[in-house]
Amino acid sequence: MVTKDPSCGCCSAWADHLKQAGFPVEIVETSDINRVKTRLGVPQALESCHTGEVGGYVIEGHVPAASIKRLLAEKPQAVGLAVPGMPVGSPGMEVEGMEPDTYEVVLFGPSGQRIFARYRGAEEA
């Protein structure tokens, strides 16, 4: 399930990325997305524009499907994964003619936060 603001287009593009990777996607739109983030335990510093839930984990922001698949395979003790902000080139944030950002996928939970993966655009760095 992906919860997003009704006016956000990049969230729909990220959901399409997940569908192409084989994930079933249900989109729920709400103008009170912050309440969802709080309920699911997303740290404010890791927030992005949409929040997903899969396999008992929270997926915050433009997390690449490959990292979600790895998360589900490894099953670490964590709340979930996050890509803070909206990095250019991340899934759903592709901008033609712009160089992709290098960004981190953060694993977060009760024991803190750590880098789970690093990407430059769609490619793991």
pLDDT single digits (tens) 5-19: 888 777 788 999 999
**Predicted pLDDT of residue 38:** 95
**Predicted pLDDT of residue 77:** 96
Query: What's the average model confidence in pLDDT over 15-25?
Result: 93
Query: What's the average model confidence in pLDDT over 38-43?
Result: 95
pLDDT tens-digit readout, 44-78: 999 998 999 999 999 999 999 999 999 999 999 99
Q: For every residue of the chain, which 3-state class applies, written as one string?
A: CEEECCCCHHHHHHHHHHHHCCCCCCEEECCCHHHHHHHHCCCHHHCCCEEEEECCEEEEECCCHHHHHHHHHHCCCCCEEEECCCCCCCCCCCCCCCCCCEEEEEEEECCEEEEEEEEECCEEC
Q: Is the pLDDT of residue 25 over 90?
A: yes
**Predicted pLDDT of residue 82:** 98
**Predicted pLDDT of residue 7:** 81
Model-level pTM?
0.94
Query: What's the average model confidence in pLDDT over 32-40?
Result: 93
Name the band, by pLDDT with cuts 50, 70 and 90, for residue 36. very high
pLDDT tens-digit readout, 108-124: 999 999 999 999 998 99
